[in-house]
């Protein structure tokens, strides 16, 4: 399946993300999920970004709301707009999971 996963928190209370598999996986970081794209906790990338084979996206509005800019975003992650997220949902992936 082609699955777009939304993450909206810095600290997760589920482990579904670690277990779910998809042939094509998109991970869209929104709200407080955007911190995974910019923080280096203990000098390291967020473990969220180590999911093999996934494509990572971060919502630019939610980054800027929190005082961060595209320049600070991890190179694994693509900065996107609301319109881009619509295209990801409607064209690139078949289903979504807000974890």
Partner 1 sequence: MGVFTMGVFPSLVGSGTLDFSFKLAEAALAKGHTVNMWLSGNAVMMAKKGQRAFKDYSHLEKKMMELVGKGMAITVCEACAEARGYHKEDTPEGMKRASMDWYLAKTFKSDRVLHIGGE
Partner 2 sequence: MGALKLCFVVQRPPYKSENPRLALTHSISSQTAEIHLEDGETVVPTLIFVGDGVLNATKNQQAMKLYGVTSTESHIKNGLLIDMPIWVCKEDMERLGLKEDQMIADAEDMGADLKTKFVSFAEIQKEIEACPHLLFF
Member of 1, 2, 5, 13 binding a second copy (CB under 8 A) = 13
**Does 75 sit near a second copy (CB under 8 A)?**
no
Write out 4-61 in H/E/C secondary structure. EEEECCCCCCCCHHHHCCCCEEEEEECHHHHHHHHCCHHHCCCHHHHCCCCEEEEEHH
Q: Which does 42 bind (CB under 5 to 8 A by kind): partner 2, a second copy, partner 1, none?
A: partner 2
Looking at 3, 11, 26, 29, which residue binds a second copy (CB under 8 A)? 11
* Gyration radius of the chain over CA positions: 13
50 vs 69 by CB, closer to partner 2? 69
- Residue 90 sits in the site that holds partner 1 (CB under 8 A): yes
């Amino acid at each position: 399946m082609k699955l777009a996963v939304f993450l909206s928190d810095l600290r997760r209370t589920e482990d579904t993300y670690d277990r779910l598999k998809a042939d094509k996986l998109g991970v869209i970081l929104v709200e407080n999920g955007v911190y995974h794209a910019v923080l280096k906790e203990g000098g390291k990338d967020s473990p969220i970004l180590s999911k093999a084979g996934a494509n990572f996206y971060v919502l630019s509005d939610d980054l800027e709301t929190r005082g961060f800019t595209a320049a600070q975003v991890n190179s694994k992650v693509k900065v996107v707009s609301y319109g881009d997220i619509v295209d990801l949902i409607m064209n690139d992936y078949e289903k979504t999971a807000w974890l």
